[in-house]
Amino acid sequence: MAESDTPGSSGRKARPSKDRWVKLGMLAVLVIALGVVYVLSTRSARLPEYFKFDLDGALRAAKAERRPVVVLFWSELADDATRYVVGAKGLRHQQVTKAVDRHKYLCVAINATAKSKRAVKYGVKTTPALVVLSPDGLPLGRLEGRKGHSAIEELLSTAAEKLK
């Protein structure tokens, strides 16, 4: 048998089989799906735009403008619960954003553990926690842990009623 008669020795590269293309396609779909899941999981962890990070400045502004303050105590240790509270079923929900606008809340986020000075000062025992403060800095209400939009909206409305 001549050398040119043996299979695969014609000098051309062998074409990949259909199984290989199917496997590469499945791998591409898996990589894309994981990318989408990653983006969606990190997207809701960002705070809504109306949150600031300066509590002292917010308290000064609240006193001058006679506006209540919502303080979000969050921690990277409670990442899943924080993502839930900050996400579409929590602070980003339409009812919550309407309540924030209606009652003219100033919103502040503080990255803190339950043992930090500010958390202890406002009686926070776990994160995430929402504390509503009067324009004078006195606590009006509190929610701790993984709470949804209805509980948050109720907290904001109840605290606003206490100010009237």
- In this predicted structure, the answer to whether residue 120 has a pLDDT above a threshold of 70 is yes
- Alpha helix (H) ranges present in 44-138? 55-65, 79-86, 94-102, 117-121
d(CA 51, CA 73): 12
Fold of 51-163: Glutaredoxin (3.40.30)
Tell me the pLDDT tens digit for each residue of 90-119. Answer: 888 889 989 999 989 999 998 887 788 888
DSSP one-letter string for 40-69: HHHHTTSPPTTEES-HHHHHHHHHHHT--E
Residue boundaries of the structural domains of the chain: 16-45, 51-163
Q: Which of 54, 67, 34 is nearest to 118 (CA)?
A: 54
How far from chain centre, in Å, is Cα 36? 16
Tokens of 61: 């502004």
Site of tokens 């999981």:
41
Tell me the pLDDT tens digit for each residue of 46-85. Answer: 677 788 888 999 999 999 999 999 999 888 766 777 777 8
The pLDDT value given to residue 60:
93
pTM exceeds 0.85, yes or no: no
d(CA 116, CA 45): 22
Q: Between these two residues, 126 and 132, which has the higher pLDDT value?
A: 132
Amino acid letter, residue 124: V
| DSSP 3-state of 7 | coil
d(CA 45, CA 80): 9
As a whole-number percent, the residues of the chain with pLDDT over 70 amount to: 84
Q: Which residues, in sequence order, are CB contacts of 135 under 8 Å at separation 6+? A: 62, 63, 65, 66, 67, 68, 69, 163
